[in-house]
Structure formats: C-alpha cells, structure tokens
Chain A
Amino acid sequence: MAKIRIDKYRLLELAAPILGFLASIVVLLIIAALVGEPPGKAVAAILRFTVGTGARLATVFSVAIPLFLAGLAVAIAFRAGVFNIGAEGQYFIGGLVGALAGIYLPLPKAIHLPVVVLAAMAGGALWAAIPAILKVTKGIHEVISTIMFNNIAFALVNFLVNGPLSGRGEQSLEPQTHKILPSALFGKLNSAFRAIGLNIPEHVYMDYSLIVAIVMGILVWFLLFRLRFGFEIRAVGVSLDVAKYSGIRVKQVQIGVFLISGALAGLIGLQEIFAIRGHYTFEIASGLGFDGIAIALIGRNSPVGVVFSAILFAFLKQAGYGLQLYTSVPNAIIYVITGLMILFIVVINEIVTRYIRALRKKEAA
C-alpha cells in the first residue's frame, strides 16, 4: 500500500514538465489565433514541418544531437548546484580547439577522430576553469562570471579566426580557418541506419556526433549514479551544508563538475564544425548554450530526461520554422514559448510540491 502511494507522488512529480509543456502549447495557439491564424492551421504547419515526412522527422533527431550535448553539459553542473551559463563561450572555444587539432595534426583516422573530440573537451574545460576557480576561491557567482567569459570568448575567436588562424582566401572571403583534414571529418551514419531499415535521406546529418552524444550520455549517467564522485555531486546539489558536514570536499566537487560541464559543452559545436562545415568560423550557430539551460531544466537534470527534452526542443525549433514558413506567425514565437515553458514547469512544480506536502500531512494526521 505504501509503495503505491510513493508511486502516486512520483507520478505527480512527473506531471509538472508535461503540464508545463501543454500549457505553453496552449499559449502558442492563443498567440497564433491573436495573430489571425486559426489554431488548426498552426498545428498543421507545425506537424507538417516536424513529422510530415520521414526526412522531416529525421531532421528533428539530427537537430537534437547538439541540443542533447548542451542540455547534458548544463544538467550535470545543475546537479551540483552550479549554474553553467557559460556553455555558450565554452563551445565556441572548445569547437576551435577541436578544429585546430583537426586542421594541424596529421593523424590516421582511427586516432584523429578521438583526438579532436578530446581536444574539443579540453578546450571547453579550459574555458570553464577560470570561472570555476573564481567561484570557489573568491565566491564570484558563476552566473555573472560566465556571462562575461562568453563575451570574451566571442571576441577572442573573432580575433583568432580573422588573424593568426585565418584560412581566408582558400575557399571563401568569409573569415574562417583552414579546412579540417579529411581524417578528422565526421562521416554520416545514414548508411548504417539504412542497414537496419531506417531510411534517412542523405541531406539529413546523422553523423558521428550522434555516437559522441550517446557515449557521453552513458558516461554521465554512469558517473552520476554509479561512481562515488557522482554521489558527491548529487549530495552537494541537495544541500551544501549536509555535504560539508558529511566530509565531502565541496569546493573540489564544484570545480570538478564545472570542468566536466565545460568539457561536455566543448562538444556542442562538433556536428556543425566537423560534419556540416568542415572548417571553423565564429559564425557557427550561437545560442545553443542557452538552449542547454532550458533543456536541462525541462529534463529535470537527468541524462535520460535530457534525451527527451532535447528531442522536444529540436521539435520546437523545427516547429518555429514551420510556423514561419506556412503561417504568418514569426519564428521568434519559439523563444517566447521556451521562456514560458520553463516558467510554467518550475511554477507547476512548486504547486505540485505544495500539494504533495499537504497530502503527506493529511496522511500523517
């Protein structure tokens, strides 16, 4: 009997993200109606661009790969109560370091691919290191320091790509690095999927970054739930004081988790740099680090949850393009919906928590 009750609470807790998602979709349809588009037409536009064809559906999953890595990076830091708002800068730097390893290290393919991945992780971790150290030694809140580091990172890569690392004139006039060596380029897995009966059109990028994402997802899960360090991360996240009194070295955990988060963030740009472009430029898609914050929150900071929320987010992104293309609703609506969704989820979560507390009290009485 007691067990069933616990399950009921668990179910209630899971309801918050779902209710939050539904509430924000309702708002989306209301806004669409205010703009003069009947809800039916908006829904049709969204569905057509996201699940209308196999290619569209595959694109959602392709778009979800970097989003998953972004969510994972932010989520693991959140687990220890660290707000890594700097994933943005970390992937610009991580991507550049990875690209440099891809351009300047002549290695055989089997070695080169892991080397560029590790280089990107090192770059991301490096960029996270200073805010991490400033946090634990000086008490500077990471939200402010990482925002500053994002802006410094943009200026830095802008300088490097325009200056010392410029490969301009080789292929285009747009500022960019030299081309990445073929041995480091991310090939596509489309043929592998075809072998198991999934026909993904060639223009959809289902590349090696999918493998990177899966491996990282498993590693993070293993770290969080099977290793001592993961337990310490979670303990610090639940209560700093309790963790401190039980002998956990809180500062070391915070630095460690910050570096891991930065390393994961360093991977966000891999798909675009190594599979789609084949060179580095500071014009790679920006904003994925901020998307990661929303994805982590919606996925409740669990590696499994982040899988679903990354796919949901990719769906939303594509939905935005669908609305833009087939209706008069601007694509920017997706930012509105994302912001609202986070707010709805955390507020509903609080309401549910209060409700559960009241239920428990009643039971105890």
Chain B
Amino acid sequence: MELSIIVDFLFKGLEISAPIAFAALGAVFSEKSGVVNIALEGFMATTTFTIVWGSIAFQSIWMGLLVAIITGVFMALIHAVATITYKVDQIVSGVAINILAIGIGRFLSQRIFGQETQSALNSYLFPTVFGINSFTFALIPITAVCWFAIYKTRFGLRLRTVGENPEAADTLGINVYLMRYAGVILSGVMCGLAAAVLYPSKWINGMTAGRGFIALAAMIFGRWHPVGAVLAALLFGYADTFRIMFETKIPIPSQFVQMLPYVLAIVVLVGMMGKAKPPAADGIPYEPGE
C-alpha cells in the first residue's frame, strides 16, 4: 500500500514535470542563441489547443502532435521576426505574444467547439504505461539529444557562439540571424512536445497555468544547461505533484500548498542568482557593425 503510493508518486511526478521540462529545454535553445523568450507560456497556450484539435480532426494523436509542433513553430516565428529581424524588445514581444495566444486559443475553441473556455474531449491519446501518458518517457531521449546537439555538434557550437559573442561569430562567417532563428524556432518545437504531455485529452482555457514561466525559472536554476534545466523542472514538477496528491492530507490551508511551486521558484532563484551566468549576449539584439 505504502509502496504503491510511492511508485504512483514517482511516475505521476514525471508526467507532471515533463511539460515544464520540455518548455525549459525550449528556453535553453532560445537563450543559448541570445533571445530571451517569455512567450513560452503563450506558445503552450496555443499548442495545447491545436494538439487536441489536430488529434480529433485527423483521428490520430501523432497528427495532433505534428499540428502542435507546427503551431509552436509558427508562434516562435512571430517572436523571431519581431525580436531578431526588427530588434523589438524581447520582453515586449513576449508579452504581446502571450496576450495574442490567449486570444487564439479562445477564439478557435469558440469557433470549432462552440465554447470559449474548453474543447471537446479527445480520445486519440498516447497509450498509458505505468498509469501515465507514455509520451512522458520521450523526455529522457529528447533531453539527451538536446544536450548532444548543444554541446557536441557544430550547430550547437554556433548556437552558443551567437549567444555569447555575436560579433565574433559574425566575423567567423556564422549567420547570427539564422542561428538565432533556429534557437527560437526550436523553443517553439519544444512547446509542441510539451503539449503532448500537458493533458492532451482536453484543452481548457488557462490550463498552462504559468508553466512557461516556471520553465524559465527551471532554465535559470539549471544554469542554462539542458540537463540542468530538466532536473530543475523535475524539482518543480514533483513539488506540484506533492501538492496535487497530498493537498487534502496536509493540515494547512490548501491555498498555501498551492503557493508551493511559485514560492519554490522564488527561493530557488534567490539561491541561484550570481552563481549562474546567462549567455553574455542574452537579450541583446544583434546590430551588425557598419
């Protein structure tokens, strides 16, 4: 009995952590290339909708996932065009996309499902393994691939160079804009994957509930490293799982338990700051010299 609760907690925690982890990987790609991306929340607000719609429309969760990834890429392109091509303030663009995304989800839901706040039920799902969505386990190989791509490939080296020193990268003949586009687009792809584990059975308005921002905190806690970011995401995910599973059993008001992930994020950031350094050119638009 005790054991089954622990096993349940371990698997459930992995499932609840996975969307944050995928988004945090996306954040790593974007910020490694030098683009701050607070629009992850908005990306996920749209991908969580399109995965449900795509699955129902094409009667396949894989098609739904494809649609979600395309949606993520599309949203990411907006951020990329605004911040890289037009050098708009990256926070401002992120805020605008987050507002836009809320509207897109609600607008499409109203048009397609006749309700602004929730979609119909999607029954085309990934099989359940150990009581959780099996796509959760894709997190492990994907994290490895991300690590490999960032630290062991020429692409990764170039991505990191444009985030650390775009002038030098430019001198070496690396296309700074192209690499930054790649970083931002990959963050959109990751938000598509996040949707595959964030309750793909139904879309509800506001279901992302700040996970995009928690993912940013996880990225910082993970020191802009893909494995670190995923581990930090697990910390937040398990804290949330603890809340969900034991909220009613703890003798303190549930609202205080609900604060847990957010307070934890603040505490973690306080502990981390000054110890971890973002990429040197993170957040600074690249202006080629004349």
**Which of B99-107, B163-171, B193-201, B225-233 is the contact stretch?**
B99-107
In A333-347, the 8 Å CB interface with B consists of 333-340, 342-343, 346-347
Query: Are A336 and B255 interface neighbours, CB within 8 A?
Result: no
In B55-112, the 8 Å CB interface with A consists of 78, 82, 86-89, 91-93, 95-107, 110-111
Q: Return the chain B residue nearest A31 by Cβ.
A: B107
Query: Are A138 and B99 interface neighbours, CB within 8 A?
Result: no
Query: Are B274 and A138 interface neighbours, CB within 8 A?
Result: yes
Instruction: Return the CB mask of B6-30 against A: 1 if under 8 Å, else 0.
Output: 0000000000000000000000000
For A294, what are the chain B residues with a Cβ–Cβ distance below 8 Å?
95-96, 99
For B87, what are the chain A residues with a Cβ–Cβ distance below 8 Å?
350
Binding site secondary structure of chain B: helix
Query: Are A331 and B116 interface neighbours, CB within 8 A?
Result: yes
Query: Are A343 and B38 interface neighbours, CB within 8 A?
Result: no
Q: Is B213 among interface residues, defined by CB-CB distance under 8 A?
A: yes
Q: Known: A140-B270, A145-B269. Contact between A336 and B107, CB under 8 A?
A: yes
- Using a CB–CB cutoff of 8 Å, the interface residues on chain A facing chain B are 35, 83, 85, 134, 138-140, 143-145, 147-149, 151-152, 155-156, 158-159, 162-163, 290, 293-294, 297, 330-340, 342-343, 346-347, 350-351
Other A-B contacts than A134-B270, A148-B213, A330-B116, 8 sampled, CB-CB below 8 A, are A138-B274, A148-B262, A156-B255, A339-B103, A343-B93, A346-B82, A347-B82, A347-B88
27 interchain pairs, CB-CB under 8 A: A134-B270, A139-B273, A140-B266, A140-B270, A144-B269, A151-B210, A151-B259, A152-B263, A155-B255, A158-B255, A294-B99, A331-B116, A332-B106, A332-B107, A332-B116, A335-B100, A337-B103, A339-B99, A339-B101, A340-B100, A343-B96, A346-B92, A346-B96, A347-B82, A347-B86, A350-B87, A350-B88
- Using a CB–CB cutoff of 8 Å, the interface residues on chain B facing chain A are 38, 78, 82, 86-89, 91-93, 95-107, 110-111, 116, 210, 213, 216-217, 220, 253, 255-256, 258-259, 262-263, 265-266, 269-270, 273-274
